[in-house]
Structure 1
Amino acid sequence: MATITYMIVLLLYMMPRVTAMMPEGRLQATQVKASDNSYRLPKTAGPISYEVYLKPDFESFTFEGDVKIRVQVFEDTDTITLHSNRQTISNITVTNNNEVILSTSEANIDSEKHFLVISSESKFLKGTEYTINIAFTGILSEDMNGFYRSSYTIGNEIRWLAATQFESTHARSAFPCFDEPEFKAKFKITIDTPPDYHSLSNMPTPAASEPDESGWRKYEFAETELMSTYLVAFIVSDFESLKSNAPYSFSAWARPNAIENAEYSQTIGPPLVNFYENYTGIEYKFPKIDQVAVPDFAAGAMENWGLITYRETGLLYYDGISTESNKKSTALVIAHELAHMWFGNLVTLQWWDYTWLNEGFARLFQYLSTDTVETEWRLMEQFVVDQQHTVFANDALLSAQPLTSESNTPAEISAKFGTITYSKGGSVLRMLRHILTPETFQKGVQRYLTTHSWHNTVPEDLFNALEEQRIEDNINTHHPVHHFFEPWTIQPGYPVIKVVRENGKISVTQERFLLKDNENSELKWFVPLTWTRESEAPEGFQSTEPKEWLHPTDTPTELNIEISPEEWIIFNNQETGYYRVNYDSESWRLISDGLHANHDSIHPVNRAQLLDDALNLARAGKLDYSTALQVTVYLHHDHDYIPWTAALNAFSFLDRRLTNDQGHTDFKDYVLSQLQHVYETLGFQEQDSDNQVTLLFRVSVLTWACRLGLQECIDTAVSMFKQYQENTENKIPANLRRLVFCTALEHEGEEEWNFLWERYQESIITTEQVTILSALGCTKNEELLKQYLEKSINSNSGIRKQDAASVFSSVYSNPDGVATAFDFLKNNFNEIANNYGGMNAVANSITGIAGRLTTVEQVNDLETFINANSEALGSAAESGRNAVEAAKADVEWTSKHKNGILTWLRNRQNSGDGSANIVINITVITTAFLVALLT
């Protein structure tokens, strides 16, 4: 028997509320260093099963535990390496057939890579099974990662709970383990639970043990099926549950004073599970689904198998208080997490380089599945403006990363969970679905999931399954799936297709679309082309299978399309392709005229596409703003939420760039003139007949009208707020609450701000709290904004850490708060890191501020700050430098394009066009109506 020296690094976090005391006898740590630069575990051994025991203590905020790991050795080795982080290890024993191979009270840790290295003088032999027992202690931290503590209040009583968040590299913070997705194993969890608490985990438990003399009970959960460590979960709380009427165990859990608001989650959840079972042809594999609303939760939600965890705003819907947007978000988040039961849990990415295999599928299917339950929401149309248009902006930067890209360190892995992975992943899969047809795509996905159930995959596994199905169904794409689709996953960015009509012929070319017009890229793609001519509209837009392909090697490609000289043609039916389209000037003229003449003949998604493409092509210098803005002129006739969402999103950039310019008034007048008809139609009064899309549209239109200074809108909102302030029984409709609060605070004073802050402190409803927090940043009072920002880094203010960053964004999103937020950032970035969630949060704050800077002096100030604090900023410094470059580009854009935009706006005013320079006189809302509304 050999005895070897081990060591561990103890990482203790300072606790703002309580100083946590670790049990006596912890090890003295000495460092070891892994021999190479890889953060990946060696493949010499892997786990078969775990038995995990944990005992949390809510007085010291610590936990003790031990883990028994049955491992198999794949090749002869003198070391077995696994992960451990933030634990004090008191003993390690390794046995083989009940014979002790080694036993030690010391541990060897590479603290940077979180490696726990178990060494033996005699080799661990290939093909042999060993059992590793490790006893340890840890801290229930407040950072919302690993095994952490949370709390809520009933009356004046603080009630504690402990929850987990392991994705992507935090299971190692709860117990030593092989913390990589490829190392699947079975888990048997036992939680020693304090009096008056109960425990939940991935699997059910027959019953808790009888309490011991101190009232503690053991919850021994059934062993799981094969799963990755990041999907393990457990919660110790006094939550109450709400069960659905599903024929299987489907429950929601929340604090006792909120559980009744889980009813919508229980209504929509079972039909979503049924959708996934029917779509995939595979039944749900675990015996239960518990959904838990955790008061402090850094992510939006987490797909732990059998125990899905959420922010309260992701699971709870408060009828009469939550907005229609909240309801939509709740449905989509639940659908997203349930999709992961198949896409991620049953079939799991091999490594985080391929995070889009999990998240891209979940993002697409959250819309596809919910669309079958909430059939009137037009979710597949909303997908385009919610997801594809949003990610187009990030993916148009030269610094954009491809879907499949290398990740090694925990920080690099964390960075994979961004817009590119989710929204681009979902968008390119949507494109592939239309290329192959929805039917073949579904059968190919079924083939992929069935073949690889319980295993790990790489993108080639998906491509192969879809290709086999394509061949079987005789779908002619001219190329194998991996051939035309792989470039969309391994290359950053996306193309813009240039369509040119000349002498009755139509030719197309492609180039990478970049927002900076002085940047070049040689990247090309296989681009599926669809189009509709005016004579084919509106039916032609329904055809989304490729009519032709544009190849990466093509020079201008002539298309065989017969078209009359005065007929418009629009490419990319329903914007199913992940690309933009530009046209020659005559084609743009015909499209603009067509929108004016009969916009309803053009699919609403394609109207959204035309608006988004035109304004972003102009932003990138690829189209004159006079042409792009001419496309928007028809909007005062359009009463559809989808194209208006695209227009207002694109207008947001112009609004920010022109905010501090004298010409901003001309811009505001033009947008208000376009909004006139929909404003009059929608008004402030909600109707019983309003569907979800109408409710969302009203909020959007009223928000812009009030923000751009329409006095009628401002007066109505302020009056509604004053009625509410005088008597909170005068309810403001939930959907209008944020708009009313923000408008009132922008135009009123300190009394109104203090009133709303008191409402925040009194509220126990998370969605209401979030609404108020976003509105409190709307004031023009600089002193109040300073105080508000200070509250975000004060642990005693009542603002939860998960919401602190939203305070900062609410202030810098206010044009009058940019300078205040910038000063706060410069003076408090360390406190921001501590309270917002680390240097990633600081990086996000810098990026957010940078997008609001409008002068050279401000940008130079930001650059000076980053350079002066580069070492202290750490990982945020690089993000800061990228943000500075983006801010410089924005300022350069303003100097280059501003005059052209303002000239066009003033020419429209001077031309006497009926859609511009209109004095909006709203007579629809009468005095009698206002009195009725406000009382």
Structure 2
Amino acid sequence: MGKGFYISRPLGFVLCGLGIVAMLTIFSLSVVYTKEKRKNQVTAINETGMVTTAAPHTTPAPSNEPWDKYRLPDTLLPEYYNVTLWPRLVPDEQGMYIFTGTSGVALTCIKETNLIIIHSNKLNYTLTLENHHAKLTGLGGTSAPAILKTWFQTQTQFMVILLNEKLEVGKSYWLYMEFRGELSDDLAGFYRSQYTENGVKKVVATTQMQATAARNAFPCFDEPSMKAVFHLTLQHPPETVALANGMELGTESITIEDKKLLQTRFKPTEKMSTYLLAFVISEFTKIQSSEKTNVLIRIWGRKEAIESGQGDYALNVTFPILKYFENYYNTTYPLSKSDQVALPDFAAGAMENWGLVTYREQSLFYDPKESSNGDKEWVVTVIAHELAHMWFGNLVTMRWWNDLWLNEGFASYVSYLGADYAEPTWNIKDLMVLQQVQRAFAVDALVSSHPLSSREDEVITPDQISQLFDTITYSKGAAVLRMLSEFLTESVFAKGLHNYLHEYAYSNTVYTDLWKKLQEVNADSRIQLPASIKEIMNRWILQMGYPVVTIDTRTGNISQQHFLIHPEAVVEKPSDYNYEWFVPITWMKSGSNMGQHWLLTKTALYEPMKTGTDWLLANLNVMGYYRVNYDPQNWERLLTQLTTDHKVRLSIKAVIPVLNRGQIIDDAFNLARAQIINITLALRTTKYLLKEKEYIPWESAIRNLQYFFLMFDRTEVYGPLQTYLRRNVQPLFDHFQNITSNWTQKPPRYMDQSNQINAISMACRTGVKGCSELTRMWYRQWMKNPDSNPIPPNLKNTVYCNAIAAGGVEEWDFGWQMFKKSTIAAEAEKLLYGLSCTKEPWLLNRYLEFTIDPKQVRKQDAAFAIVYISGNVIGQPLVWDFVRAKWEQITKDYDDGSFFFGRLIQGITKKFSTEFELKQLQRLKEDIAASSFSFGTQAIEQAIEKTKANIKWVSKNKAQVMNWLTEQST
């Protein structure tokens, strides 16, 4: 999956975005190396193309020198690497965990040059006899020029090697280096993770190379198009096992520096990008597939977790998903094995390293006795996401990071297809609307959004690259590819993918290469399109945002406009397409007739859209990436249908499909926030919920009503809001109490099991009689017998939160003890959330201090815990003061760049809706701008935009909402 947005499943309403970890840290060198570096002179290229001596400098000023640019020159191409690494799993005399290594790379000269520029970051090098940091020799009888000098460009993360003569075009050379680095705990590059087993601390050496951190592990040409073959050798303690992308070729005993070690060599990798390289050294154990499968599948993790069966589910679904994708792509899995490793410390959700996929524990492990349906769903979809990348992303890779959306959006889309194959009774493909489409809608409605794809020269620095791992890349990418697959048909789409993978295997592409292959296949089909696939899709990926389509059923007039959640926002980003889209509109009428139409201009007239007394519903099953508005009369007819009979059937078709019932609610609330329709119309879409039992409409309603809680939970509107929602959720609460025999059984349908969580959560939140007592009863039973948790796994998240909120220090301390003792990552995460729900300010402040102490809360979980606390109406101001006071310390200590800080800002400012809060946010922006930190600016800008919109929304709607809610109670 790439790192980005497969972070652990959000809990409650607090987090909705997936993220990724930024890879950069401040370059830190030893005193000896620093002195050596300062001795080196920097050089410059003269007009002849040769390099001459220039004055030394440490921070590149704006220049045209190749080492001051962030992109590699196109003069050299790596063919293969030989890399040997020895990580120390115990600290040295200075308390540092280090690794040493050697690296050789065979490179071919493409254009004449007397410079070798190779990525290197946070590595110290052993000097050769010639007093250089590298040694160059010729291959195949070629003689190599002598090295004049080597130096390092810290900002651009390059080692620069100046030669006394030019390399010859077409000739190959061998560049050899010896180096030393720190096996730090920053979760990037070659890093360490640790855990405790039977009271003994265990250290794991592992990797996270995406996007720009392979250079932290060894010197390399660290760009996705610089594909090469990697020969890896790992040296490690005798009690450990070593894993890498390739299969182990053999392990032998060796002695180095009087230390007995094992040395494991691996089969050479396929030709691949540096960001997909991975290796793990650990005391992990495994389970593996039977010999009947043609691909060796192994699940690795902590001994206790594997022996307790937490890896069994992952093993059971991996092979079926692999086979599904082999059939879907019509392309054989290109490797002989698939290792999947659960790491105690991992910043992302998972990473698609070719042949060695790494995961957070809760993304790979599932305990049937302790884990919830949500945990199981997360595991299967993440595994499917990562395995989808084995072809799309690994076999064929984007040329540069500006096309990351194609990798991640595609894997996000087809992960639901793979998961649906593995769990066919779940109907999991429907969840894409909630989990991807609606999530993308929320972010893409801001003027601070961005296009899916941009020019290569707009994505240059590591920080710019890391910012692409966001909701737009993952969720909007998935949504528009789902739409493309729908109007092409899945068969045409899949055949085009096969041709694309076949032609570009082991190479790199740009997104238009996919359009070309799909166009060729579509030409042989009967699918009629209004324009080429390139013309249609470029409008969706080269401009940000999406349209709201307005249909007037009285006249048949259709129009589109750029949908912005903040109606007075000014779009300053120009678009070659003037924010118009080619929109595939599908529709149905209450008379059960259906149709489709392409909207190609701002406005159009389409006679079949006239309805008379029928209602019309557009964007069937929400397959298109757009919102829908109607004339007032059609809105009334839709609401009447929902209220009278939302499930009435004509022929064999449901009049309003369940996905569209969720869509009507989501569209209405967002149209109201954008001041396109009245807020009371949006609220009226929830009145029929008294009769609704399906998960998707309820989940859609709850997510949108969460905005009302955020805006009004500190005002007089909160009481009437609780009263109205309590009446609506009471029948749902009673329904699940009945079908579960008073909460003693599990609902039979998967979607019902999800909606049972909503029933209890909303019932407790709105004060339904018996709900709080139920959650406290379960929690108290657990406190009396900590070794036997009676709480149904699906309901733990809700029960922990409500019981701790209703209790005091005793309940909180018990939850904390269980969190610290938990050996199941998914269980620990639920407790991490539940602890944030206490109403005691002093407990929340204590918890905040714990979150930035790695001994109490793992670094990978810190941002989540802080944001969870901010979701508590009592905790939010405490968190805001805490983060503002400690933001420099937090960002430095966690060294996680823009994503960590951005995640905090987005989470803790969701409630902001006053001028005072806006001024505080603007002041923080100024403080950061005046500091040395360059990250987090996009998140702050989005928070400022959202806060301004919140202020206007509350001002305009507070009285109307209050009056409407009051009327409902009379």
- SS of 1:365 mapped into structure 2: helix
Match of 2:17 in 1: none
Match of 2:305 in 1: 258
- Are residue 80 (structure 1) and residue 116 (structure 2) matched? yes
CA distance in 1, matches of 2:550, 2:951: 27
Match of 1:356 in 2: 405
Query: What is the TM-score with the length of structure 2 in the denominator?
Result: 0.88
**Mapping for residues 796-807 of structure 1, pairs under 5 Å:** 796-797=855-856, 799-807=857-865
- Are residue 506 (structure 1) and residue 549 (structure 2) matched? no
CA distance in 1, matches of 2:744, 2:33: 60
Match of 1:328 in 2: 377
Distance 1:280 1:180, change over 3 A: same
**TM-aligned CA deviation for residue 422 of structure 1:** 0.5
Alignment partner of 2:80 out of 49, 54, 76 = 49
Q: Residues 123-160 of structure 1: CA distance to partner in whole angstroms, max 9, x if unpaired?
A: 01111111111111111011000000111101221011
Alignment partner of 1:280 out of 312, 325, 329 = 329
**TM-aligned CA deviation for residue 106 of structure 1:** 6.1
Alignment partner of 2:478 out of 410, 420, 426 = 426
Match of 1:925 in 2: none
Match of 2:882 in 1: 824
CA distance in 2, matches of 1:201, 1:324: 32
- Are residue 241 (structure 1) and residue 290 (structure 2) matched? no
CA distance in 2, matches of 1:274, 1:623: 48
Distance 1:876 1:711, change over 3 A: same
Letter of the structure 2 residue corresponding to residue 675 of structure 1: V
CA distance in 2, matches of 1:211, 1:86: 28
Alignment partner of 1:524 out of 580, 583, 606 = 580
Contact 2:25–2:896 under 8 Å retained in 1: no
Match of 1:896 in 2: 956
Match of 2:103 in 1: 67
- SS of 1:535 mapped into structure 2: coil
Match of 1:185 in 2: 228
CA distance in 1, matches of 2:395, 2:39: 39
Name the stretch that deviates more: 477-486 or 32-41. 32-41
CA distance in 2, matches of 1:413, 1:530: 37
Alignment partner of 1:704 out of 762, 771, 782 = 762
Match of 2:64 in 1: 35
Q: Which runs of 5+ in 2 are unaligned?
A: 1-23, 41-56, 127-132, 572-577, 648-654
Q: Residues 7-51 of structure 1: CA distance to partner in whole angstroms, max 9, x if unpaired?
A: xx996669xxxxx99999976675564735641111111101111
Q: Residues 306-362 of structure 1: CA distance to partner in whole angstroms, max 9, x if unpaired?
A: 000000010000121111100000000000000000110001001000001110110
- Are residue 471 (structure 1) and residue 471 (structure 2) matched? no
Letter of the structure 1 residue corresponding to residue 219 of structure 2: P
Alignment partner of 1:296 out of 305, 328, 345 = 345
Distance 1:583 1:564, change over 3 A: closer
Distance 1:337 1:26, change over 3 A: farther
- SS of 2:359 mapped into structure 1: strand
CA distance in 1, matches of 2:766, 2:818: 27
- SS of 1:317 mapped into structure 2: coil
**TM-aligned CA deviation for residue 172 of structure 1:** 0.5
- Are residue 344 (structure 1) and residue 423 (structure 2) matched? no
- SS of 1:195 mapped into structure 2: coil
**TM-aligned CA deviation for residue 211 of structure 1:** 4.1
Query: What is the TM-score with the length of structure 1 in the denominator?
Result: 0.92
Contact 1:26–1:88 under 8 Å retained in 2: no
Match of 2:661 in 1: 607
Q: Residues 638-665 of structure 1: CA distance to partner in whole angstroms, max 9, x if unpaired?
A: 1111111111111111111111110111
Contact 1:832–1:838 under 8 Å retained in 2: no
**TM-aligned CA deviation for residue 889 of structure 1:** 2.0
Distance 1:416 1:877, change over 3 A: closer
Letter of the structure 1 residue corresponding to residue 112 of structure 2: D
Match of 1:387 in 2: 436
Name the stretch that deviates more: 106-115 or 269-278. 106-115
- Are residue 886 (structure 1) and residue 946 (structure 2) matched? yes
Match of 2:802 in 1: 743
Letter of the structure 2 residue corresponding to residue 687 of structure 1: Q
Match of 2:604 in 1: 557
**Mapping for residues 704-743 of structure 1, pairs under 5 Å:** 704-728=762-786, 729-743=788-802
Identity %: 34
**TM-aligned CA deviation for residue 565 of structure 1:** 2.0
Contact 2:344–2:360 under 8 Å retained in 1: yes
**Mapping for residues 440-459 of structure 1, pairs under 5 Å:** 440-459=492-511
- Are residue 596 (structure 1) and residue 646 (structure 2) matched? no
- SS of 1:107 mapped into structure 2: strand
Q: Residues 234-271 of structure 1: CA distance to partner in whole angstroms, max 9, x if unpaired?
A: 01111101102333200000011111310000001000
**TM-aligned CA deviation for residue 110 of structure 1:** 1.2
**Mapping for residues 541-556 of structure 1, pairs under 5 Å:** 547-552=596-601, 554=602, 556=603
- SS of 2:469 mapped into structure 1: coil
CA distance in 1, matches of 2:301, 2:145: 45
Letter of the structure 2 residue corresponding to residue 42 of structure 1: P
**TM-aligned CA deviation for residue 730 of structure 1:** 4.8
Contact 2:27–2:121 under 8 Å retained in 1: no
**Mapping for residues 631-646 of structure 1, pairs under 5 Å:** 631-646=685-700
Contact 1:89–1:107 under 8 Å retained in 2: no
Match of 1:229 in 2: 274
- SS of 2:253 mapped into structure 1: coil
Distance 1:372 1:795, change over 3 A: closer
Contact 1:140–1:162 under 8 Å retained in 2: yes
- SS of 1:296 mapped into structure 2: coil
Alignment partner of 2:678 out of 624, 635, 642 = 624
Contact 2:148–2:162 under 8 Å retained in 1: no
CA distance in 2, matches of 1:850, 1:871: 21
CA distance in 1, matches of 2:935, 2:406: 27
Distance 1:391 1:564, change over 3 A: closer
- SS of 1:218 mapped into structure 2: strand
CA distance in 2, matches of 1:155, 1:731: 26
**TM-aligned CA deviation for residue 446 of structure 1:** 1.2
Q: CA RMSD in A?
A: 2.1
- SS of 1:731 mapped into structure 2: coil
- Are residue 843 (structure 1) and residue 892 (structure 2) matched? no
Distance 1:562 1:28, change over 3 A: closer
CA distance in 2, matches of 1:422, 1:314: 17
Alignment partner of 1:157 out of 200, 213, 237 = 200
Aligned length: 885
Q: Residues 584-643 of structure 1: CA distance to partner in whole angstroms, max 9, x if unpaired?
A: 100100110111222122100111111100011001101111222222211111111111
**TM-aligned CA deviation for residue 478 of structure 1:** 2.2
Match of 1:404 in 2: 453
Contact 2:80–2:229 under 8 Å retained in 1: yes
